[in-house]
Structure 1
């Protein structure tokens, strides 16, 4: 297995990371591989089945050109500042430049302890690794910016979390692992030369079109806003929007206690550790702005003018609402955006919350609507009568044919999402040595908008046992 390494981040120097080897996963087994991830690195998918691949990705033996390192960063965690975090259980194994001239980080999550692990074991468990492997690919195929997954490795090593589990590793691919917290670390330790160097790196590698740090800040905020707008439109809750979990490319990053909305609840909290609801579903847009403001204040020593911070705030809001309003119009089958559309959405959400209507099923069934009430509404259909009358009147303002509208709506309203109970089923089977459900879900979620009749039961509401699963930061 050969990879074209181009380790640009390592060239920044030792103040940006700790160069350490991985602690190999004992008795590793390759249990899932992603051909789409392999293509990003110009690898043949069969390469991932080789002994060399298993040794490299499990941390046992580096290949030529790899340069493993644990990145240092800080971050605001649930609103409180932690001055020194860093890769406590992950290693950047190296950066690969593919034939399209794209630079991809190869990151092993679950690599063992690093200088930043703060006394922890540095391992990931099979449960959390399966969830990240599946979720990152699920979001990608929904069209939401995200890190990607290459492969999933299981080990026999025992790991203590809420219960005794087994260790695993997931290879995450991302265009960058630089986070908002990376800038916070150098700013608040008064390492302003390093802060400048990190900005120069970010602009050169990721934002070559921007002219200065002020412009870079605006673009980071804009991409973040558009990502969160997509989360809201698809009913996705991240769960832990700390600044050290925020990518400077506006990509979904560091999957933990995430969840897709099922019965609609604007205050949905997917992380049972989030007692105060800081990262509840309806708080995500505001938290995204809060995080961008934290980044702005970290960059303050390099900004030309403090007015850049207020400009960033406005830019975030403009990009968020432009993207969100367009996505919601598309989900409703509206060609244009008109006055009154926001009220139409607001009234719909009030009804859905009051009647506990499944978010994904409602919009999918709306795409295929006939004269009959939507099945997902059950006995609550009469309560939606007035809303459907307003909706039909709004549709009449557009010139789109019903056939064209249906096709467009089916292309934006998924039939299949990664419901927590589906992930849990795959986890429980995998813990018994059966990895088939991981492969099945991975295959299904690559085509979330297509009818896959043999798998229609994956598009149903969750069973009673799967409606309120506890998902924590260790998940």
Structure 2
């Protein structure tokens, strides 16, 4: 594949209008176009900063980044009229001065966009992280200038050269930081709809901890750009800033993010991708060191840029057909808008999920029904996602329906955790007192979200069925009676619910089996593997308090010859000693040996390893006969079981280092990102684990970062503000 031509961020090509969310969905009526939005920015900027209920048909609101402390501390200029009659005007002038309204470079770019800056908001901004893998996979045509040089050599220990990178003027890097920090905005207000452009935030609703919460929406997320991948024009990536200021969906919050939470998402999104689990991606981290943010303590603001083909959630559908007669927490809820539901569903089915085999309805022509297929495709994708979570011990922490992607991407990393000592009941979010989102409950709560999606789309599915499996037409629900709505809703639910549950459960089980077989180095799937091998293994881990990931990695070095008869090994005592030594090495993977019944653990492990050995031996013919089978299986298992895991103690240490000293801390952050993006590599000279070997400081630190960590950090719970 040819190397794409690299261009600065503001010059990235825009998608076709047919592939652009803002050209196909309905904006907030207070600013129905980029041109109208620009006028709002000049004359009434509080409109986009004030939490409010949007009209029922709305899918999104135009809103530009503007990271400011909240509540706003508005100080009038000397001599300015502050009488009650003029206070509203004073607020608008104060906000307008901080909006990005000034053009410094009037040269129109090839994509038609222009860069605008604020006159009264000069914020120091410091690049602290840039994802090479996110850049390579999603935006290979983006020119970041000398950004990687500025970040310095990724290292866990001090650079022996003691060289600090010197910042020089670099237009591409400067533009990258200006835009991705929320300081500058890309916008075009031409009458030509194909060229017009402005940033936006999505409206959605959702169930939070099982309770209907009314309108939610992107309270601190703003999508600033979308661009097609240079090798596939059908694949468009959105760039979204998280923590860039208030939107109409912020409710009482400040719209900001802090260094701590931003580092957690920045690292984990790329770590999840490296493990093969569907996820949004990370691009950059930019600190705003002089912008204070109040969480549990005063912290520094930070803006994360994340990337995905779409950030639409199940809650986006729920907002357009909310559940009836439900008590909800929140600022309010609009009436349903079934035409807006049709518009969103058709867009998602055609351009986001790219449903196959459907003749889409065009003006004056009939089209195929799509509602049922949309629900089932989202179920398949989310089933694969949550199977990946379970196989790799990932816990999301807050699987509210507004945090479940329609594409089945892991999204909104908050109080997440990777499993340490295996415990199926573990709760990683200390706000989840009832364990709704515990590790073992994750598949069922994702299924709950998918049922909510079906509930939202069920009247449309029922109407499509009544039309003989044809798509509904524009205005399909205009004169619908309450009785007709109830009938179609019941029909749609009855038609799809059983199939939805079967599709989800079967897909999740199949993907989980596939991943667990991969982790165990097995090439054939037998129907009784789960009952004879997988469940007994996880029960062993839980009962004897063993570390989840270290145990799987250690099993890569197991050889069936360790349990062979003396006749095959030639030495009874040697064979028994080697087998016992391997069992001991597994038992050493508990950080709490005082809690383990050693005698029982040895017996249990020996029984399981004997079954595992038999299962491995039965597959000898499935490997390359010209190469050592044990070595092939070891390599396959090392490629499936991470040496490095993004544990809570690692995250806390990286965050502390960045908060204490940004320049040295961002080198550590960069190295941990490298390890997270290549988790299967033998970090810390894993192949040579003798304690007497002389290793340099960097390798020793890699080895420490691959460890379980201090006992007090095991099972560490985070807050939702994480």
Map Cα deviations across residues 23-57 of structure 1 (whole Å, 9 max, x no partner): 14631111111123233222134275711111111
Structure 1 stretches (4+) deviating beyond 6 angstroms?
none
Q: Tell me which moved more, 269-278 or 337-346.
A: 337-346
1:404 corresponds to which residue?
Answer: 632
Q: Take 1:38 and 1:443, find their aligned partners in 2: how far apart are those partners?
A: 13
In the alignment, which residue of structure 1 is the partner of 2:259?
Answer: 126
Query: What does residue range 373-384 of structure 1 map to in structure 2 within 5 Å?
Result: 373-374=582-583, 375-378=585-588, 379=598, 380-384=601-605
Give the corresponding residue for 2:677. Answer: 446
**Where does residue 543 of structure 2 map in the other structure?**
354
Are the counterparts in 2 of residues 108 and 169 from structure 1 also a CA contact under 8 Å?
A: yes
Corresponding residue number in structure 1 for 2:649? 421
SS of the aligned residue for 2:454 comes to helix
Deviation at 1:237, TM superposition (A): 0.6
In the alignment, the residues of structure 2 paired with residue 333 and residue 451 of structure 1 have an alpha-carbon distance, to the nearest angstrom, of: 18
Structure 1 length normalisation: TM-score?
0.96
Which secondary structure state, in structure 2, belongs to the residue aligned with residue 165 of structure 1? strand
The question of 1:195 aligning with 2:341 is answered yes
- Give deviations 1:316-370, integer Å, cap 9, x for gaps: 1110111111111121122111132112211111111111100000000001125
- Report the counterpart of residue 202 of structure 2 in structure 1: 71
Q: Aligned partners of 1:315, 1:38: CA distance in 2, in Å? A: 34
- SS of the residue aligned with 1:186? coil
Note if 1:111 corresponds to 2:241.
no
Query: SS at 1:111's partner residue?
Result: coil
> What is the correspondence of 1:289-308 to structure 2 with a 5 Å cutoff?
289-303=447-461, 304=465, 305=492, 306-308=494-496
Secondary structure in structure 2 of the residue aligned to 1:81: strand
What pairs up with 1:301-320 in 2 under 5 angstroms? 301-303=459-461, 304=465, 305=492, 306-320=494-508
Task: Render the CA deviation track for 1:424-469: whole Å, top value 9, x for unaligned.
Answer: 1110011112322211100111111111222222221121242243
CA distance in structure 1 between the partners assigned to 2:709 and 2:634 by the alignment: 26
- 1:430 and 2:658 equivalent? yes
Paired residues of 1:136 and 1:148 also in contact (CA < 8 A): yes
* Larger mean Cα displacement after TM superposition, 105-114 or 329-338: 329-338
Say if 2:134 and 2:270, in contact at 8 Å, map to a contact too: no
8 Å CA contact 1:180, 1:247 repeated in 2: yes
Q: Residue by residue, what CA displacement relative to the aligned partner does 1:196-247 show, whole Å, maximum 9, x if unpaired?
A: 1001111121233333121111111001001110111011111111111111
The alignment's TM-score, normalised by the length of structure 2, stands at: 0.64
Provide structure 2 residue ranges, at least 5 long, that are not aligned to the other structure.
Answer: 1-7, 28-57, 69-122, 148-171, 189-196, 323-334, 359-369, 466-491, 560-578, 589-597, 624-628, 686-698
Identify the match of residue 329 of structure 1 among 517, 521, 541: 517
Per-residue CA distance 1:356-398 (angstroms, 9 max, x = gap): 1000000000011254325241254443111111211222222
Q: 5 Å matches for 1:57-206? A: 57-63=180-186, 67-99=198-230, 100-101=232-233, 102-156=235-289, 157-188=291-322, 189-206=335-352
Distance of 1:351 and 1:62 partners within structure 2: 54
Q: Whole-Å Cα distance in 1 between the matches of residues 187 and 219 of structure 2? A: 25
| Corresponding residue SS for 2:241 | strand
1:167-214 Cα deviation digits (max 9, x unpaired): 111001011110000000011232111111001111121233333121
**Partner in structure 1 of residue 38 of structure 2:** none
8 A Cα contact 1:34 1:45, kept in partner: no
Aligned residue for 2:711? 464
Judge conservation of contact 1:38–1:45 (CA < 8 Å) in 2. Answer: no
Q: Indicate if the aligned counterparts of 1:29 and 1:153 stay in contact, CA closer than 8 A.
A: yes
Counterpart check, 1:367 vs 2:556: yes
**How far does the alpha carbon of each residue in 1:118-161 deviate from its partner, in whole angstroms, 9 at most, with x for none?**
11111111100000000000000111110000000111211111
Out of 264, 275, 288, the position equivalent to 2:422 is 264
Mean Cα deviation higher: 160-169 or 381-390:
381-390
- Partners of 2:342 and 2:658 in 1: how far apart? 46
Aligned-CA RMSD value? 1.6
1:4 aligns to what? 13
Aligned mates of 1:309, 1:183 — CA distance in 2: 17
2:615 to 374, 394, 398: 394
- Contact 2:67-2:243 within 8 A present in 1 as well: no
Does the CA contact (< 8 Å) of 1:74 and 1:82 recur in 2?
Answer: yes
Rate the CA distance shift 1:163–1:470 in 2: closer, same or farther, 3 A.
Answer: farther
- Separation of aligned partners in 2, 1:47 and 1:435: 15
**Residue 437 (structure 2) pairs with residue 279 (structure 1):** yes
Distance of 1:319 and 1:215 partners within structure 2? 15
Aligned to 2:143: 44
Q: Which residue of 1 aligns with 2:526?
A: 338
- The answer on whether the counterparts of 1:38 and 1:44 sit within 8 Å (CA) in structure 2 is no
> 1: CA distance between counterparts of 2:718 and 2:250?
22
1:118, 1:381 → 2: CA distance? 56
* Distance in 2 of aligned mates of 1:316 and 1:222: 6
Query: Is the deviation greater in 460-469 or in 119-128?
Result: 460-469
Q: Deviation digits for residues 272-303 of structure 1, max 9, x if unmatched? A: 11100000000011111111111111111211
